[in-house]
């Protein structure tokens, strides 16, 4: 399969960055009410699970990265917790906030070095009136191996020569191996979620497509990407500003209903469930995309409205996006999968959402995964199929 390594593209990306084609957004303050309204927020990071006490003999978590994002103004701040676990944010705007904390910890167990991530979330906290103190509780989890590194759902603007008003066949999903080990794509499922199912245990999917393979046919090495195209063709032929996906690794080819086109050189994803549409189209307005792994895709059955159900615990990664980021009440994923919301732009602009680089392990980028897309994702002005835009360079 044609997988590209991140390393090979960093130089190219630097050049593209220098040419000013790409910007990232989300960190600068976009609203400035009077100084007198501002207040201070102190967040104390605690681990009451026993993990930090057993490993480090304390329950306060120091040097944890605490992120806050304001829901109405989209402002975003981060800072580190101090020696007694307190992260202080000064003179922030009163608003509803999502608060998220993450820390990677290494410890030795029987002479083996083990890495865990301490994660915690508070969602939709009202911070108004006066200074605010709160606790956030973390739990240890294993770092996700495969992550959705980019989802390009936006579509392309009308332009010469054809001026197509709503071009969305250029959508793609990019998956990245964020771990130190080879991971196999075989039998993993990409699905999108129906809105409006409050269920503790299950997700309700509209479409679900599975990678082929018998267990070890499609390896993904650490730091490698895989591209799943809606249609694996060169879209720049019809819309010059779009992307060339003719050498994508996989594509959604829908034989029933008829109308989809097939690139015979690109492997098709296997249809598991297809509620409607001539293709696996991600909504250009709002949707939630998940990557999941189950033994039997049909084990949990269907809902009464023909959604295929999967256990929430099977989800490896998920991203919730929307054109209007203030509409948090319409989120499709619960905080255990994605506590935030990304997107925030109009349809058909060639924009894309990409996971941030958290840090580098040698030359290999490790992408951020707090299970909070408000924090983990940035908006790109142009998609980057099979490579990454380094926001720090
Ligand atoms: Ca297709
Ligand atoms: Ca094909
Ligand atoms: Ca995640
Ligand atoms: Ca990319």
Is residue 122 one of the residues assigned to a domain?
A: yes
Ligand sitting nearest the alpha carbon of 175: 4
Q: How far is CA 389 from CA 68, 354, 365, 376, 393, in A?
A: 23, 8, 11, 14, 9
- Upper half-sphere CA count for residue 387 (Cβ side, 13 Å): 17
Tell me: the pLDDT tens digits for 292-329? 999 999 999 999 999 999 999 999 999 999 999 888 88
Is residue 392 one of the residues assigned to a domain?
A: no
Residues 100-104 have a mean pLDDT of 89
Residues 114-119 have a mean pLDDT of 85
| Residues 91, 158 within the same domain | no
| Residues 269, 363 within the same domain | yes
Least confident of 16-30, 188-202, 310-324: 16-30
| Residues 108, 244 within the same domain | no
Separation of CA 318 and ligand 3 centre (Å)? 6
Ligand sitting nearest the alpha carbon of 252: 1
pLDDT at 142: 76
How big is the CA angle at 343 (ends 329 and 19), to the nearest 5 degrees?
A: 165
pLDDT at 264: 98
Return the SS3 of 358. Answer: strand
Return the SS3 of 236. Answer: helix
* Cβ contact 14:393 at 8 Å: yes
Mean pLDDT of the chain, nearest integer: 90
Closest residue by Cα to residue 356 from 381, 341, 375, 333: 375
Distance, in Å, from the CA atom of 195 to the CA atom of 143, rounded to the nearest integer, reads 28
Q: Which of 88, 120, 141 is the last residue of a domain?
A: 141
List all residues 6 or more positions away from 83 whose beta carbon is below 8 Å from its beta carbon: 60, 62
Separation of CA 155 and ligand 3 centre (Å)? 24
Residues 57-71 have a mean pLDDT of 94
Separation of CA 178 and ligand 4 centre (Å)? 13
Range of the domain at 298: 6-26+144-380
Distance, in Å, from the CA atom of 309 to the CA atom of 302, rounded to the nearest integer, reads 6
| Residues 100, 178 within the same domain | no
Band (11; pLDDT cuts 50, 70, 90): very low
pLDDT at 304: 95
Number of domains in the chain: 2
Separation of CA 226 and ligand 3 centre (Å)? 17
Give the N- to C-terminal CA distance of the chain in Å, as an integer. 29
Separation of CA 19 and ligand 1 centre (Å)? 33
| Residues 304, 257 within the same domain | yes
| Residues 77, 149 within the same domain | no
List all residues 6 or more positions away from 201 whose beta carbon is below 8 Å from its beta carbon: 311, 312, 313
Separation of CA 319 and ligand 3 centre (Å)? 8
The pairing of strands 315-322 and 286-292 is antiparallel
Separation of CA 169 and ligand 1 centre (Å)? 7
pLDDT at 202: 97
Ligand sitting nearest the alpha carbon of 264: 2
DSSP string, 71-140: TTT--EEEEE--TTSEEEEEEEPPEEEEEEEEEEEEEEETTEEEEEEEEEEEEEEEE-SS-EEEEEE-EE
């Amino acid at each position: 399969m044609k997988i590209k390594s991140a390393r090979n593209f960093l130089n190219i990306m630097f050049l593209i960055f220098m040419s000013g084609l790409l910007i990232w957004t989300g960190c600068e303050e976009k609203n400035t009410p009077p100084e007198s309204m501002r207040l201070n927020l102190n967040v104390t990071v605690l681990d009451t699970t026993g993990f930090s006490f057993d490993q480090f003999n304390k329950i306060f978590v120091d040097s944890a990265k605490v992120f806050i994002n304001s829901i109405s103004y989209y402002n975003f701040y981060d800072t580190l917790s101090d020696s007694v676990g307190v992260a202080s944010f000064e003179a922030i705007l009163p608003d509803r906030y999502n608060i998220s904390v993450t820390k990677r910890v290494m410890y030795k167990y029987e002479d083996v070095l083990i890495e865990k991530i301490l994660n915690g979330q508070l969602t939709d906290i009202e911070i108004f009136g006066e200074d605010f103190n709160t606790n956030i509780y973390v739990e240890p989890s294993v770092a996700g191996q495969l992550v959705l590194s980019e989802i390009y759902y936006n579509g392309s603007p009308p332009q010469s020569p054809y001026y197509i008003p709503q071009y969305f066949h250029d959508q793609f999903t990019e998956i990245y191996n964020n771990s130190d080990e080879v991971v196999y794509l075989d039998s993993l499922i990409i699905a999108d979620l129906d809105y409006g199912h409050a269920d503790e245990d299950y997700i309700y999917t509209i479409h679900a497509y599975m990678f082929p393979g018998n267990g070890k046919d499609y390896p993904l090495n650490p730091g490698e990407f895989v591209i799943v195209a809606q249609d694996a063709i060169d879209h720049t032929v019809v819309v010059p500003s779009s992307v060339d996906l003719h050498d994508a690794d996989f594509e959604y080819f829908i034989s029933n209903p008829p109308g989809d086109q097939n690139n015979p050189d690109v492997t098709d994803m296997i249809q598991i469930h297809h509620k409607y549409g001539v293709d696996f189209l991600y909504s250009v307005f709002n949707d939630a995309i998940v990557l999941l792994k189950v033994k039997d895709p049909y084990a949990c059955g269907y809902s009464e409205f023909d959604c295929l159900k999967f256990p929430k615990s099977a989800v490896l990664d998920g991203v919730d996006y929307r054109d209007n980021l203030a509409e948090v009440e319409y989120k499709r994923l619960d905080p255990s999968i994605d506590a935030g919301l990304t997107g925030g732009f109009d349809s058909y602009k060639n924009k894309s959402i990409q996971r941030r680089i958290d840090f580098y392990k040698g030359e290999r980028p490790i992408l951020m995964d707090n299970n909070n897309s408000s924090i983990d994702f940035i908006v790109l002005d142009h998609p980057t199929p099979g490579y990454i835009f380094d926001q720090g360079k």
